[in-house]
Amino acid sequence: MAKNQRDELVFVPLGGVGEIGMNMGAYGFGPERSRKWIVVDCGVSFGGPDLPGIELIMANPEFLEERADDVLALILTHSHEDHYGAVLDLWPGFEKPVYATPFTAAMLAAKRAGDGIVENVDVTIMTPGKPFTVGPFTIEAINVAHSIPESNALLITTPIGRVLHTGDWKLDPTPVGNKPTDVARLQAIGADTSLPLALICDSTNAMKDGESPSEAEVAANLAAMIAESPNRVAVTTFASNVGRVISIAKAAEKAGRHVVMSGRSLHRITGIARELGMLEGCPPLLDQDAYRTIPRNKIVLLCTGSQGEARAAIARIARGEHPVIDLTAGDRMIFSSWAIPGNEREVNDIQNMLIDKGVEVITQKDGLVHVTGHPRREELKRLYGWLKPEVLVPVHGEAMHLMAHAKLGREEGIPNVIDARNGDMVRLFPEPMAYPAEVRTGELYLDGLVLCTPDESGVKGRRRLSFGGHIVVSLCVNGSGQVVSGPDLVIEGLPETEDESLTELVENTIAGVLKSVPPKRRSDTEVLNSALFKAVRNEVNAYWGRKPNVSVFVHRV
């Protein structure tokens, strides 16, 4: 394809740049008015206590919808929720192909079947090392080590420049259940100087010195902890970490133990891994029904719930509510995971319940039982040295991670380090820079079965209700201002003590208003509504110290 003097290669982060999770980025090539676009990743983040009722958060694709005819494809780097979890919610409307590896494609299919999703997407299988063309883009997946199978960086080539989009990666020479990062290919990309190169790079661990420990080190530690325990051993980890599951299964086999699994996601993901030949040589993984038939010192329980999910297996076990499995004093529970920010309280609660049962709880504070799949500073430096990029754009991180990564890139001599956030338009080539543009960004919430904007979600009202409770007053008056029905009263979420009755206080307040407002004025529903609202709210505030949410319904008959 011939170069055009007006051609530009641009990058627009729609999610994941300024926060952890919700990763979604768009690459555009061509003149501004006829630019073609590809999208890399389409992930989610998870609602926390500040978003009551919201399960998932995803990037608003409005910017892409406005250019839908010029959006060519979605390419997925891997199948962690923060990179692919929004595909089935957002992508069917585009009716454009999705490129993914076999494992990611199988994960999408399993998600669709498990969640009963009717909409489907057209998935094209991509293979690392085999470039494919989408419009003006040539794309090559490059294998990288991470904590889920078939993770890839993407080399995106256009007539005026190239991009290495790392996805999630690390330099682990001895991964388990996956191939190591393809260092030779990365070095070859850096050696090719025919086109300038931009690096769009993971910043998650940019504040941590050194190099990330290997998955093989975790496997060795888990094997020792399983072998030395005289009683039951239970392990919880991220279900998607197939390598960790393999390590646990082999450690159990070496110690003469059987692995019993509990948790739907574990069964789903290990089933996919087995179908794709990833568990060859791995001992059988038994269903939870086998738990009671195996001696206490011959079992390793592998269960879901590493993030404190209330309905997951380990939470139910800790509460004593699991129908098949229990842990008792002297058993050992290993949390082979880390608590994602926002989940610490729930994880701690489960650990405390287990400790109260006499279970020995082991976390990453007690030994190397978990490593993340992201590069630390020395790994980033090595990547810079191999690629020799002209441009660096730190992504996948909060402000502190992005700033640390950008500072490191400048210290290492990268000529153009661009500080970007969601919604910025970053020109990579020619003349790299970030510049103002009308880029529409934001979030969408999955609220039950409804996908909506934050303003549409009603979350603000839920916060008010959670703080101030709700008082509902209803009555009917006739044309003469006489009360002919009610007042009826409903109070939710406000304190009631033995010494003082809030219900009685509200009833007396209503009676006082009705007595103080003349009958002719009471027949005006707006006047009576306003008087009751103000009086009830003020009296309860004086008693309680908080202003409740008050709804008054005055009907005229």
> Which residues, in sequence order, are CB contacts of 312 under 8 Å at separation 6+?
263, 303, 304, 305
> Which residues, in sequence order, are CB contacts of 508 under 8 Å at separation 6+?
none
**Could you give the residue ranges of the DSSP H alpha helices within 183-287?**
183-191, 215-228, 242-254, 264-275
According to CATH, where is 3.60.15.10 located in the chain? 8-210+372-457
CATH of 8-210+372-457, one of 3.60.15.10, 3.10.28.10, 3.40.190.10, 3.40.50.300: 3.60.15.10
According to CATH, where is 3.40.50.10710 located in the chain? 215-362
| pLDDT for 477 beyond 80 | yes
- pLDDT score of 502: 87
Least confident range of 45-54, 314-323, 434-443: 434-443
User: Any bridge partners for residue 450, and if so which?
Assistant: 447
Measured N-to-C along each axis, helices 399-411 and 377-387 cross at an angle, to the nearest 10 degrees, of 50
Task: State how far Cα 148 lies from the chain centre.
Answer: 15
Rounded CA separation 304/284 (Å): 18
pLDDT band at 48 (very low <50, low <70, confident <90, very high): confident
Tens of pLDDT, residue by residue over 73-124, are 999 999 999 999 999 999 998 999 999 999 999 999 999 988 878 788 999 9
CATH number, span 469-556: 3.10.20.580
- pLDDT score of 165: 98
Rounded CA separation 291/301 (Å): 8
Backbone angles phi, psi at 188, to 5 degrees: -65, -35
> Which residues, in sequence order, are CB contacts of 191 under 8 Å at separation 6+?
none
Written as one letter, the residue type at 361 is: V
Give 467's DSSP letter.
Answer: H
| pLDDT for 4 beyond 60 | no
In this prediction, residues 40-63 reach a mean pLDDT of: 91
Cα–Cα–Cα angle for 255, 256, 261, rounded to 5 degrees: 90
| pLDDT for 2 beyond 50 | no
Tens of pLDDT, residue by residue over 268-288, are 999 999 999 999 989 999 999
User: Any bridge partners for residue 295, and if so which?
Assistant: none
Rounded CA separation 494/370 (Å): 44
Rounded CA separation 67/57 (Å): 22
- pLDDT score of 1: 45
Mean pLDDT, the chain, whole residue set: 93
- pLDDT score of 438: 67
User: End-to-end CA distance of the chain, in Å?
Assistant: 77
| pLDDT for 395 beyond 50 | yes
Do 467 and 546 form a contact (C-beta atoms < 8 A)? yes
Give 395's DSSP letter.
Answer: E
Burial of 194 (0-12, 13-18, 19+ CB in 10 A): exposed
| pLDDT for 436 beyond 70 | no
- What 495-498 contacts at long range (C-beta under 8 Å, 24+ apart), as own/partner pairs, is 495/544
pLDDT band at 496 (very low <50, low <70, confident <90, very high): confident
Rounded CA separation 337/541 (Å): 45
Is 215-362 in CATH node 3.40.50.10710? Answer: yes
Least confident range of 138-142, 354-358, 434-438: 434-438
Written as one letter, the residue type at 367 is: G
pLDDT band at 437 (very low <50, low <70, confident <90, very high): low
Rounded CA separation 433/362 (Å): 48
> Which residues, in sequence order, are CB contacts of 326 under 8 Å at separation 6+?
317, 320
Percent of the chain with pLDDT over 70: 98
Task: State how far Cα 169 lies from the chain centre.
Answer: 17
In this prediction, residues 40-61 reach a mean pLDDT of: 90
Do 80 and 168 form a contact (C-beta atoms < 8 A)? yes
pLDDT band at 231 (very low <50, low <70, confident <90, very high): very high
Judging by DSSP bridges, how do beta strands 152-158 and 233-236 pair with one another? unpaired
According to CATH, where is 3.10.20.580 located in the chain? 469-556
Tens of pLDDT, residue by residue over 216-227, are 999 999 999 999
- What 542-546 contacts at long range (C-beta under 8 Å, 24+ apart), as own/partner pairs, is 543/500, 543/502, 543/505, 544/494, 544/495, 544/502, 546/467, 546/468
- pLDDT score of 334: 97
Run of H or E residues at 255: none
In this prediction, residues 320-328 reach a mean pLDDT of: 95
Handedness of CA 75, 77, 83, 84 (dihedral sign): positive
pTM, rounded to two decimals: 0.90
